[in-house]
Structure 1
Amino acid sequence: MLLLLLLQVSASCLWLGQGEVVTSFERSCPQFFFRETPPNEALEPESPVWICQSYKNQHYFATLYDQERRIPVYSAYLYQPGPGKRPKTWLVEPQLMGSTYPKTMEREWTLLKYFNVSLEQLSKSQAILQDYKNLTGLNRGHLNPSGHHHNASSRTATFTLTNIVPQDAKLNGGAWNNYEQQTMMRKTQGCNTTYVVVGAVPGSSSIAKGRVNRPSHLWSSACCEVDTKHRKAWGVIAENDRNEVELLTLGELEEVLSQLYGREKVSLFDSDCPRD
């Protein structure tokens, strides 16, 4: 009994943060959405999971996860860039295996060693590190990039595989990186608060022997509050096999996504965010 208690205490010391699976963003972590309004149901996959991504007991962003395709549909966060080192630790989400597991992002080895979880069990619920090994022309592409956060805790929280998709390596290190680092900085000048929703359109191919979907497109949208009466918005989209990013109005991006998803009209932000 004492040994079990010591193991539990040791494991708790290794816990890196909370990545809580919830039933609603509006009730659990609405602060990452403009007017506390998430995108509408037009983006929802057949097997959606809502995750409030946290670190050290603080929520840092929200992710709608496609458990069947093992990629995020979108991640939503506040744009608050700052200096700092890029994290190296990769995390996974225990609660995707079931609500009895910890509400904490964990390293794979922590789950295997301290929670009697097998790698096969973990892999049934989500992508694992092995899925992203030995890729050709692709790498682990963040939806919510660590560079858009201002401290070590918020940057580390983005290094979960529930925030990652197989992204074209040239795009990830080229035009998409230019958008994340340069265009965003220019577009957000004068903004008091900038809400971001960035996502991936499911594609027709996959990696890891069919386990993880390779998106056909990546997209990002932003709604900036200049003051209480003035707002501005924009969006971008990129094909996931070309090193090009197209800058759009928010309305144009929603129209393109409505066509790509082929369902009802996509709405990414509350109607108070300008579409033109």
Structure 2
Amino acid sequence: MLGLLLLQVLASCLWLGHSEVVKSFASCPQFFYAGIPPNIVLNPKKPAWICQHFRNSYHYATLYDRDRRIPVYSAYKYQPGPGKRPQTWLAEPQLINPTYSKDMDTETSISNRYKITPQQIGQSQAITQDYKNLQGLDRGHLSPSGHRSGNNSKMATFTLTNIVPQNSTLNKGQWKDYENQTMAQRTQGCTTTYVIRGAVPGNTYISNNRVNVPSHIWSAACCQTNTTMRTWAVIAENSRNQVQNLTRAQLEATLTQLYGRGQVSLFHSACPR
């Protein structure tokens, strides 16, 4: 009887060790400055902590809202470089079942491998069908492929757990300018830049009320240089082509007000406010 109990405990430990959709970012703290993620104020009612894993590597971290089927935020290191922009969209098997593979995969491959339907995949996350026939909205990346280097790392950003419905004009306009131009300028002299980009839940939905349309999109960066630290932040209403430049403290104050759950903290205290 004791031997059976020990085997059960061992099996439980092995199962917990295998899962990458767990209750912390313990498997991927490297995407947060000093290994410290934002505080729990941003956490939704049904969160999933995803260490985004693809082809034997972790590429970034995402806090996912299972109810609204959008990411709360994605955290990554800014490392732009060459590589193909993908066209295929992926899903997260472990949101369906924690015993499934920790590697993101296509919906077709997941369906075939585990003998499940797209509807079963969609119970835990957004699926490709949710983003068809969008009007005035794009699939907006939180961790963008343009901030990654190499085919695999760029491909890893094309998972629907890293996507929100984003205003098309904003996505192709001032937000794109921030991603491509402002970030390149601001990161001059940085040895490592930690980025957290998020979406504030809104009051509207797409796909028969399955996927939330955020009211705001925001981004904050903490830059490490050889001599000092510096931070910057932006926020945009998801209905206007306008990006507002803020300090870290101003963004945290704005998010505190928008969420109404307490004081938001995005980075370790060593990053200036």
TM-score of the aligned structures, taking structure 1 as reference length: 0.91
Following the alignment from structure 1 to structure 2, what is the Cα–Cα distance between the partners of residues 93 and 117?
Answer: 14
Amino acid aligned to 1:90: W
Shift of residue 264, structure 1, vs aligned partner: 1.0
Partner of 2:128: 129
Partner of 2:60: 61
Following the alignment from structure 1 to structure 2, what is the Cα–Cα distance between the partners of residues 19 and 53?
Answer: 12
Q: Is 1:257 aligned to 2:258, yes or no? A: no
Partner of 1:22: 22
Counterparts of 1:55-204 in structure 2, within 5 Å, are 55-204=54-203
Counterparts of 1:201-220 in structure 2, within 5 Å, are 201-220=200-219
Shift of residue 85, structure 1, vs aligned partner: 2.2
Shift of residue 19, structure 1, vs aligned partner: 9.2
Q: Is 1:235 aligned to 2:233, yes or no? A: yes
The percent of aligned pairs where both chains have the same amino acid is 59
- Gaps (5+ residues) in structure 2? 1-17
Shift of residue 120, structure 1, vs aligned partner: 1.4
Following the alignment from structure 1 to structure 2, what is the Cα–Cα distance between the partners of residues 112 and 55?
Answer: 18
Contact persistence 1:20–1:52 (CA under 8 A): yes
Partner of 1:11: none
Shift of residue 83, structure 1, vs aligned partner: 2.4
Return 77-86 or 266-275, whichever deviates more. 77-86
SS of the residue aligned with 2:183?
helix
Shift of residue 103, structure 1, vs aligned partner: 1.3
Following the alignment from structure 1 to structure 2, what is the Cα–Cα distance between the partners of residues 114 and 32?
Answer: 30
Contact persistence 2:19–2:98 (CA under 8 A): no
Contact persistence 1:39–1:269 (CA under 8 A): yes
SS of the residue aligned with 2:182?
helix
Shift of residue 84, structure 1, vs aligned partner: 2.5
Shift of residue 20, structure 1, vs aligned partner: 2.7
1:216-257: CA deviations, max 9, x gaps?
000000000012x40000000000010010010111000000
- Gaps (5+ residues) in structure 1? 1-17
Contact persistence 1:231–1:274 (CA under 8 A): yes
TM-score of the aligned structures, taking structure 2 as reference length: 0.92
Return 198-207 or 83-92, whichever deviates more. 83-92
Shift of residue 23, structure 1, vs aligned partner: 2.1
SS of the residue aligned with 2:122?
helix
Following the alignment from structure 1 to structure 2, what is the Cα–Cα distance between the partners of residues 192 and 104?
Answer: 29
SS of the residue aligned with 1:159?
coil
Following the alignment from structure 2 to structure 1, what is the Cα–Cα distance between the partners of residues 182 and 233?
Answer: 11
Amino acid aligned to 1:209: N
Following the alignment from structure 2 to structure 1, what is the Cα–Cα distance between the partners of residues 27 and 43?
Answer: 18
Following the alignment from structure 1 to structure 2, what is the Cα–Cα distance between the partners of residues 150 and 96?
Answer: 26
Contact persistence 1:19–1:55 (CA under 8 A): no
Shift of residue 97, structure 1, vs aligned partner: 1.1
SS of the residue aligned with 1:104?
coil
Which stretches of structure 1, 4 residues or more, deviate above 3 A after TM superposition?
Answer: none
**Number of aligned positions between the proteins:** 256
Contact persistence 2:84–2:150 (CA under 8 A): no
Following the alignment from structure 1 to structure 2, what is the Cα–Cα distance between the partners of residues 20 and 157?
Answer: 15
Following the alignment from structure 2 to structure 1, what is the Cα–Cα distance between the partners of residues 209 and 216?
Answer: 18
1:118-142: CA deviations, max 9, x gaps?
1111111100000000010001000
Following the alignment from structure 2 to structure 1, what is the Cα–Cα distance between the partners of residues 112 and 211?
Answer: 25
Coordinate RMSD, CA, aligned: 1.2
Partner of 1:36: 35
